[in-house]
Amino acid sequence: MEKLIVSTSPHIHAKSTTQSIMRDVLIALSPAAVASIVLFGLKALLNIVLCVGVCVLSEFIFNLIVKKKQTIVDLSACVTGLILGLSLPATTGVWPCIVGSVFAIIVVKCLFGGIGCNFANPAATARVLLLSSFGMSVAGGTLTSFQNPELVSGATPLVSINAGILEGLPSIGDMLLGNRAGAVGETCIIAILLGGAYLIVRKVINWETPVVLLGTVFLLSLIIKGDATVALYELLGGGVVFAAFFMATDYSTTPINRLGKVVFAFGCGVLTVIFRFFSSLPEGISYALLIMNILSPYIEKLCTFKPLGKAGKTE
Amino acid sequence: MFGLKFLGKTHIPHNKNTADLTPVKMTPPKEVLLPMAQHIGAPATPVVKVGDEVKVGQLIAEPSGYVSSPIYSSVSGKVTKIDNYLRPDGKSVPAIRIESDGEMSVLEGITPPEVTDFDSFIGAIRSSGLVGLGGAGFPTSVKLDAVKNGGIHTIVINGAECEPYITSDTRTMLDQSEAVYDGIALLEKYVPTAEKFIFGIEKNKPACIEEMARIFQDNPKVSIMPLPSLYPQGAEKVIIYNTTGLTVPEGKLPADVGVLVINVTSLAVLANYVKTGMPLVEKCVTVDGSAVKEPKNVVAPIGTSIREIIEFAGGLKEEAGKVIFGGPMMGIPACSLDEPISKTTNAITVFNVKEATEREASACIHCGRCVSACPMGLNPTAFSKALGYGTEEKMEKLEEASINLCMECGCCSYVCPASRPLVQNNRLGKTALREYKAHKASLK
């Protein structure tokens, strides 16, 4: 007699898997990674390799120690490592990279239950940790090899703008190409947009999050500063474009529903602008993300639509 | 909050390979096995005994209650056994086994029933053995009997056929359009309050839309509504919402909003019975799937084993990994090829071992694909999370997330990249909630 498989319906499944989604994110990050190496040289490559390697190794060892099924094949640790590596300046030392990676994976992700269970974005949290522990070597930017062949720190356009210095800012063209001081992956806007578009086309992320977040930052900057050029530099001069596509769209730390994602993105935008203009921080997106991550479950709950036919107070 | 309705959409490959294939009538099977419960409600009571000679269309089991349905012999031959049969859903029911004499001789004296008024109309439906052929198997006579309470203003004819592979309703609309026409005439006569008859047909069946539009062109009460080709358009609450704009509240029936939904094949069977008096003894079954050599539509006597139907259809090209009664989204898998088709079987889908092998589930990544996919606007992850709580809190959370609105269409599990058993969790949750409520009620 034939041996038949008996299981509950449905009996067919869509092709995408956790691994294929993470692979798509890695593909989407590759233009930014290539740009970072072109702009900042081998030190950028070293940072990226170090962060990815330590992240994957941390998850591997953690799973080994706690005797959990090995999860590194889902590629999510690679994604975390790559995002972290790209969001640090080229002057970041070896130790900050290692400490940040271990912290992101072990403390923020694995200790909370692994993929899907962490409440805060691992890369953003690690970046904040490094900012508060290693100071300006991590916080500032590095001039690109086109601006200065030696790896030297330089003020990001955001710092200059916030200090009221508008002279000597890179041209908008340079800003789009990435020829300005900053974290290695965040400067080349064109590469980021390319990757972001890929994710939207592949339906890995929704278009609302980056559009709402960036729109909010631009409009609020415009309202507060009253100058479109300044607002444009605010939009392109920091890490907010990179974060809008690759950090604010993280699945586990943002609301599950679409409306919730929109509210989340709006909140991130508002907080970013507040931090930039009304605090001593030159860059606010990392902190904004962390705060919104904490609020995410509540946003999710408030933004739940009424199911079809559900008896409720609204009707 | 917000009161807006955001209904999910899921693109699932249609695989309607057999849409152009006229059903082939099967050669008489060697034997048929007729379980007494092929419908929702009380199992029928056998009225034949082992050794009896029966003919096609002969009553072999009568309904045992209001919500029940009679069963007729689908072949001519001898009753060889009446014993228990384990249904695919795990319930054991008596079943009558009839060895076919290969003649398929029809019972003499089958005449059209006398239908003169509403009661005789309902009586005729009841004696036709008709149950909801869309898959639920609810006795049609009971559903239509409720019409006498009044208030039905719209009748939706479900020709969506959104399940992948299946084309038996498609064939009904193309090959038996006259019966569908007669069926509407009957409903018009006996459900006088109905002002509108809406055919809901997915856009991927242009031939059906055209044919229905053609035969009903002179009937202003009938309209054809092409539906987007998105699973699950044929689900009752979804088709009501999409054709009439009405929402059936949680725990209520379509009749509560003045709507009656009837499957297009059910309608044709009803009309055929009123015309000829031949009860429901055969079904058009789509035979398809990755392991099937030649996809076909086969008209087979009810009770024929899957094995015989597949053999008739041309056999398998690969080893069968999974055999499903119905389509791949909501169908029920068979434990063996010897299981018989029932009144509600509209397809046999056979997957090869590769396609049948389930992916291993991994952790939920909170991607929200299930939330975007749910046609009812539910959050499947909330149910799965609720199952982790203690009894009281679990029930509270399940109800709060409206688990009873889940119709198990399978969209959430289909899209889940982590292959989580979401539909299965929903079934567990629904059962737990039902049992808990029954227990609470018994304590009072």
Confidence category of residue A136, pLDDT binned at 50, 70, 90: low
C-alpha B78/C-alpha B100 separation (Å) is: 7
Beta strands in B171-230 (DSSP E): 196-202, 222-227
What does the CA dihedral B123, B128, B133, B138 come to, rounded to 10 degrees?
40
- Mean pLDDT of all residues belonging to chain B: 92
> Residue B366: is its pLDDT beyond 70?
yes
> Residue B5: is its pLDDT beyond 80?
no
B97 at A interface, C-beta within 8 A = no
> Residue B290: is its pLDDT beyond 80?
yes
C-alpha B242/C-alpha A226 separation (Å) is: 48
The minimum CA-CA distance between B357 and chain A, rounded to whole Å, is: 8
Domains and CATH numbers, chain B: 13-27+113-357 (3.40.50.11540), 369-443 (no CATH)
Residue of A6, A9, A63 to mutate, interface with B, max B Cβ within 10 Å: A9
Beta-carbon contacts of A98 under 8 Å, excluding residues fewer than 6 positions away, are A50, A54
State residue A139's pLDDT score: 61
From B333, B377, B405, residue closest to A6, measured CB to CB: B333
Confidence category of residue A156, pLDDT binned at 50, 70, 90: confident
3 state DSSP class of B10: strand
State residue A91's pLDDT score: 86
C-alpha B381/C-alpha B420 separation (Å) is: 10
The minimum CA-CA distance between A116 and chain B, rounded to whole Å, is: 4
**Arithmetic mean of pLDDT, A155-182:** 83
Predicted confidence (pLDDT) per residue in B47-75, tens digit: 999 999 999 999 999 999 999 999 999 99
C-alpha B347/C-alpha B190 separation (Å) is: 31
Say what the ipTM of the complex is.
Answer: 0.90
The chain A residue lying nearest B427, using CA atoms, is A8
Contact criterion met (CB < 8 Å) for B249 and A309: yes
* Cβ atoms within 10 Å, residue B247: 17
B341 at A interface, C-beta within 8 A = no
State residue B7's pLDDT score: 63
State residue A1's pLDDT score: 65
* Cβ atoms within 10 Å, residue B374: 25
Nearest to B215 by CA among B157, B246, B174: B174
C-alpha A156/C-alpha A236 separation (Å) is: 11
From B405, B417, B423, residue closest to A21, measured CB to CB: B417
Residue of B322, B332, B362, B404 to mutate, interface with A, max A Cβ within 10 Å: B362
State residue B4's pLDDT score: 39
3 state DSSP class of B92: strand
State residue B1's pLDDT score: 28
**Arithmetic mean of pLDDT, B406-427:** 94
Helix orientation angle between A18-40 and A189-201, rounded to the nearest 10 degrees = 170
B367 at A interface, C-beta within 8 A = yes
> Residue A314: is its pLDDT beyond 80?
no
Contact criterion met (CB < 8 Å) for A21 and B367: yes
Contact criterion met (CB < 8 Å) for B250 and A315: no
CB A79 within 8 A of CB A250: no
Residues of chain A with C-beta less than 8 angstroms from the C-beta of B164: 12
State residue B3's pLDDT score: 34
The minimum CA-CA distance between B48 and chain A, rounded to whole Å, is: 31
Cα→Cα distances B258→A232, B159, B192, Å: 57, 20, 13
State residue B136's pLDDT score: 79
Q: Which helix (H) or strand (E) holds B264?
A: helix B264-276
**Arithmetic mean of pLDDT, A249-269:** 95
**Main-chain dihedrals φ then ψ at residue B248, nearest 5 degrees:** -85, 120
Q: Residue B87 class from Cβ within 10 Å (0-12 exposed, 13-18 middle, 19+ buried)?
A: middle
From A9, A113, A307, residue closest to B377, measured CB to CB: A307
State residue B2's pLDDT score: 35
What does the CA dihedral B103, B312, B34, B265 come to, rounded to 10 degrees?
-100
The minimum CA-CA distance between A263 and chain B, rounded to whole Å, is: 14
Count, in order, helices (H) and strands (E) of chain B. 14, 17
**Arithmetic mean of pLDDT, B302-328:** 95
CB B73 within 8 A of CB B281: yes
* Cβ atoms within 10 Å, residue A172: 13
> Residue A313: is its pLDDT beyond 70?
no
State residue A138's pLDDT score: 63
Predicted confidence (pLDDT) per residue in B7-30, tens digit: 677 889 999 999 999 999 999 999
Contact criterion met (CB < 8 Å) for B402 and A310: yes
Predicted confidence (pLDDT) per residue in B130-176, tens digit: 999 987 789 999 999 988 888 899 999 999 999 999 999 999 999 99
Contact criterion met (CB < 8 Å) for A11 and B416: no
C-alpha B416/C-alpha A16 separation (Å) is: 8
Confidence category of residue A284, pLDDT binned at 50, 70, 90: confident
Residue of B247, B364, B365 to mutate, interface with A, max A Cβ within 10 Å: B365
The minimum CA-CA distance between A79 and chain B, rounded to whole Å, is: 14
Q: Which helix (H) or strand (E) holds B53?
A: strand B53-54
The larger pLDDT score, comparing residue B147 to residue A189, is at: A189
Contact criterion met (CB < 8 Å) for A2 and B337: yes
- The DSSP string of A52-84 is HHHHHHHHHHHHHHTTPPP-GGG-HHHHHHHHH
Query: Tokens in use for B165?
Result: 């592979």
Helix orientation angle between B177-190 and B168-175, rounded to the nearest 10 degrees = 90
